[in-house]
C-alpha cells in the first residue's frame, strides 16, 4: 500500500490548515458563499438537502485497516454513526457540520487520507480495478499509475477550474473491471509487440444525461509518457471544452462535437510540445512508487485446506458464499473475498462504524491489513488464505457482510437519491431495498445468475443506470415518482449503453416490472446464458411485450 512520506504528510496537513482558514473566513463573512463554494467543493464538502456531505477520497479504492478505523471514528464523532460507500470508490458522510469539517479532515490527514478534489470542476479521485495486485489476469498493478496520477493531479494549478469535473479510470487487466470506456479518460493496460506494457488511451466516455462510450485516441502509449499525455488532453479540454452550458461541458461533448480524429490531432499536437520534458516518468521514479505496491509476504499454505473443504460440503450457505463472493487469487492457497454491502432490504453501500471496525479487525487478522472498495459499492478483503475462509465467513456473517449475492440480482448499485441528494428527482435507495426484498430467496438468485441492476435518482446517472443490465432511472412526473427502465447496458470490455424499454412505470410497480423482466429472461434463456447474453440475442421485444401486457 502507498504510505505517505514527509512531503505528502506536510502537503495534506497544509491543505487542512488552508481549509480551516477558509472556513473561518467564510463564517466571518469575509468571503461569499459563491466564492467559498469551489473552495469547499475541492475539499469534498457539498451542501445537500439536509446538511453538508463530506466525500472522502479513497484513492483507487485501497484502504488500510487503520484508515478504515479512522473512517469509523469520523462516523461516530462527526456524523450519525454510519457512512456510505460510493460508485467512485469513495466514502460519503451525510450529516457533517461545516464548523466540524476542518477537524474531521485533520483526523483523516493523520491516517494519510484526505477529501481533496472529491468534488468541483477538477480532476477527481482516480479509480481502478478493485482486484488490483491480486487478479490473475493482470499485466501490471494499476494502482502504481493511479498513485502517480493522484500526485500529479493534486492541486494542479492549471486544471483546478476546468469546464466540468474530470474522472480518470485505470485498468491493469485486459478484462476491464474499472469501466474505463465510460470515463472522461480511461487507461487500459496492454502490451505492444515487444511485450512492453503501456496504455490504450480512451477519451470522452461518460454517463450522465448524455451517455457516451469513450473513443480510443491512442492505441498504445509507452508508460513514461503517461503524465505528459494526460496533461496534453487536459490542456486541450481546459482551453476548448464548452463553458456556455453546464450540461455540455464534459469532455465527451467536446470529443463528440469535433470528432475523435480531430481530438486526437489536437492532443497529439499539444503533446509534441510537452513530451520528453519535466513530466517524463523516469523508471526509478515509477519503481519508487511501485515498491509501495509490492505484494505482502504471504504465509505458505497447505495444498488442501481441510476445514474449508469440509465446511463447503456441510454448509450450504458457506458453499453458496464461496461460489458467488470468493474469487481466484494470483497467489496459490489464497483467495479474494468480496464483502457484500447489499444485505436483504438494506441501503446499498452503507456501513456503520461498528461494521467498519469489524472489517478492519478481519483485515488485520486475515488480509494483511488491506481492504478495497469497489465501484459496485462493496468491499474486498484481497489477501485471504483459503484455510481462513471459514473464519472470515463467520466474521462477516456476524456483521451482515456475507450475503452470497455478488453480481446477482440483489447486488444493486443505487445513488443516494432523493433521500439525501439535492439534485435527485426520485428516491433510489428504497427502490433498491424493495427489489432486494422481493428477490430475497438466495437459491432463486443463484438460479437467475449474473444480473446487474443499477438505479439513479436523476438524469445525472450517479447510479450508472446506463450500464446496468437492467437500468432504472427515477423521473419526476408532475410531482410523482416514476421509473424509466433500460435494458442491455454493460460496463465491461464489451461495453454497451442500455436502451429504453418503454414508458416509465410508477413507483409502486417497479418491483413487479423487474420481476416480469426476470421471468421473461428465465423463460427464453438458453443453456449457459446470462441475462445480458439473452438480451443481446433476443433484444427488447419479448421483455417489452410481457411487461407492458401485464402493466
State how far the Cα of 388 lies from the Cα of 166, in Å rounded to an integer. 40
The binder of other proteins chosen from 76, 243, 256, 530 (CB under 8 A): 243
Q: Is 106 in the site for other proteins (CB under 8 A)?
A: no
Residue from the set 136, 285, 304, 319 that interacts with other proteins by CB under 8 A: 285
Q: Report the phi/psi class of residue 407: left, alpha or beta, with left for phi > 0 and alpha for psi in -120 to 50.
A: left
Euclidean distance between CA atoms 411 and 518, whole angstroms: 15
- Minimum CB separation of residue 275 from other proteins in Å reads 13
- Nearer of residues 41 and 353 to other proteins, judged by Cβ: 41
How many Å apart are CA 547 and CA 504, to the nearest integer? 11
Nearer to other proteins, 34 or 508 (CB): 34
d(CA 425, CA 422) in angstroms, rounded, equals: 9
Residue 14 near other proteins by CB under 8 A: yes
CA 175/CA 526 separation, integer angstroms: 25
Site string for other proteins, 330-369 (x = CB under 8 A): ----------------------------------------
* CB-based contact 139:199 (threshold 8 Å): no
- Name which of residues 146 to 165 contact other proteins (CB under 8 A): 151-152, 154-162
Question: Residue 244, interface with other proteins (CB under 8 A)?
Answer: no
DSSP E strands in 332-431: the ranges are 334-339, 350-352, 370-373, 379-385, 413-414
The sign of the dihedral angle between the CA atoms of 91, 92, 98, 104 is: negative
With CB under 8 A as the rule, give the number of residues binding other proteins. 40
Rule CB under 8 A: say whether 7 interacts with other proteins: yes
522 binds other proteins (CB under 8 A): no
User: What interhelical angle do 510-524 and 541-550 show, nearest 10?
Assistant: 140
Q: Does 10 bind other proteins (CB under 8 A)?
A: yes
Is position 22 an interface residue for other proteins (rule: CB under 8 A)? yes
472 grid coordinates: 432504472
Judged by CB, which is closer to other proteins: 48, or 151?
Answer: 151
> What SS3 state is found at 432?
helix
Q: Rounded to a whole number, what is the distance in angstroms from the first to the last CA of the chain?
A: 52
Answer for which of 20, 31, 327, 544 binds other proteins (CB under 8 A) is 31
By CB under 8 A, is residue 121 in contact with other proteins? Answer: yes
Q: Which is nearer to other proteins, 291 or 323 (CB)?
A: 291
Q: Between 35 and 196, whose beta carbon lies closer to other proteins? A: 35
Q: Cβ distance 1 to 62 under 8 Å?
A: yes
Q: Which residues bind other proteins (CB under 8 A)?
A: 5, 7-8, 10-11, 14-15, 17-18, 21-22, 30-31, 35, 38-39, 121, 151-152, 154-162, 235, 238-239, 243, 273, 277-279, 282, 284-285, 288
Amino acid at each position: 500500500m502507498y504510505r505517505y512520506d514527509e512531503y505528502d504528510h506536510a502537503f495534506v496537513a497544509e491543505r487542512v490548515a488552508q481549509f480551516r482558514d477558509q472556513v473561518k473566513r467564510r463564517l466571518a463573512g469575509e468571503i461569499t458563499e459563491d466564492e467559498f463554494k469551489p473552495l469547499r467543493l475541492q475539499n469534498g464538502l457539498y451542501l445537500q438537502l439536509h446538511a453538508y456531505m463530506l466525500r472522502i477520497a479513497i484513492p483507487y479504492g485501497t484502504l488500510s485497516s487503520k484508515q478504515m478505523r479512522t473512517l469509523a471514528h469520523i462516523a461516530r464523532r462527526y456524523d450519525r454513526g454510519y457512512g456510505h460507500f460510493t460508485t467512485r470508490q469513495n466514502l460519503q458522510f451525510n450529516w457533517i457540520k461545516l464548523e466540524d469539517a476542518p477537524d474531521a479532515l485533520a483526523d483523516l490527514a493523520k491516517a494519510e487520507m484526505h477529501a481533496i478534489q472529491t468534488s468541483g470542476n477538477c480532476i477527481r479521485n482516480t479509480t481502478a480495478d478493485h482486484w488490483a495486485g491480486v487478479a490473475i489476469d493482470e499485466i501490471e498493478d494499476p494502482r502504481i499509475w493511479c498513485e502517480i496520477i493522484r500526485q500529479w493531479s493534486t492541486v494542479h494549478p492549471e486544471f483546478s477550474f476546468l469546464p466540468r469535473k474530470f474522472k480518470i479510470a485505470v485498468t491493469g487487466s485486459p478484462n476491464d473491471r474499472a469501466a474505463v470506456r465510460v470515463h472522461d479518460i480511461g487507461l487500459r493496460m496492454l502490451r505492444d509487440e515487444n511485450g512492453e506494457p503501456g496504455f490504450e488511451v480512451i477519451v470522452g466516455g461518460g454517463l450522465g444525461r448524455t451517455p457516451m462510450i469513450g473513443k480510443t485516441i491512442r492505441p498504445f502509449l509507452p508508460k513514461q509518457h503517461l503524465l505528459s499525455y494526460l496533461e496534453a488532453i487536459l490542456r486541450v479540454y481546459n482551453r476548448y471544452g464548452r463553458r456556455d452550458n453546464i450540461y455540455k461541458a464534459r469532455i465527451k461533448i467536446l470529443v463528440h462535437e469535433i470528432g475523435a480524429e480531430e481530438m486526437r490531432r489536437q492532443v497529439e499536437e499539444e503533446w509534441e510540445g510537452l513530451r520528453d520534458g519535466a513530466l517524463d516518468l523516469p523508471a526509478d521514479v515509477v519503481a519508487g512508487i511501485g515498491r509501495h505496491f509490492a505484494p505482502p509476504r504471504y504465509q505458505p499454505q497447505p495444498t488442501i485446506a481441510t476445514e474449508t473443504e469440509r465446511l463447503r460440503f456441510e454448509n450450504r450457505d458457506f458453499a453458496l458464499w464461496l461460489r458467488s463472493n470468493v474469487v481466484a487469487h494470483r497467489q496459490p492457497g489464497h483467495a479474494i473475498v468480496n464483502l457484500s454491502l447489499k444485505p436483504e432490504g438494506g441501503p446499498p453501500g452503507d456501513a456503520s462504524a461498528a461494521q467498519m471496525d469489524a472489517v478492519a479487525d478481519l483485515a488485520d487478522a486475515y488480509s494483511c491489513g488491506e481492504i478495497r472498495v469497489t465501484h459496485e459499492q462493496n468491499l474486498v478483503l484481497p489477501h485471504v488464505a483459503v484455510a481462513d475462509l471459514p473464519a472470515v465467513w463467520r466474521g462477516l456473517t456476524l456483521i451482515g457482510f456475507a450475503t452470497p449475492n455478488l453480481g446477482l440480482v440483489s447486488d444493486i448499485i443505487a445513488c443516494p437519491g432523493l433521500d439525501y441528494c439535492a439534485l435527485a428527482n426520485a428516491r433510489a435507495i428504497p427502490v433498491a431495498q424493495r427489489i432486494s426484498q422481493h428477490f430475497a430467496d438466495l437459491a432463486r438468485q443463484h438460479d437467475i445468475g449474473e444480473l446487474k441492476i443499477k438505479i439513479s435518482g436523476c438524469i445525472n446517472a450517479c447510479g450508472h443506470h446506463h450500464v446496468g443490465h437492467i437500468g432504472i432511472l427515477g423521473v419526476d412526473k408532475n410531482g410523482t415518482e416514476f421509473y424509466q427502465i433500460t435494458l442491455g447496458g454493460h460496463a465491461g470490455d464489451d461495453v454497451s449503453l442500455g436502451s429504453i424499454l418503454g414508458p416509465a412505470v410508477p413507483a409502486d410497480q417497479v418491483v413487479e416490472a423487474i420481476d416480469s423482466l426476470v421471468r421473461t429472461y428465465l423463460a427464453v434463456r438458453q443453456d449457459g446464458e446470462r441475462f445480458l447474453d439473452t438480451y443481446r440475442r433476443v433484444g427488447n421485444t419479448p421483455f417489452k411485450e410481457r411487461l407492458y401486457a401485464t402493466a
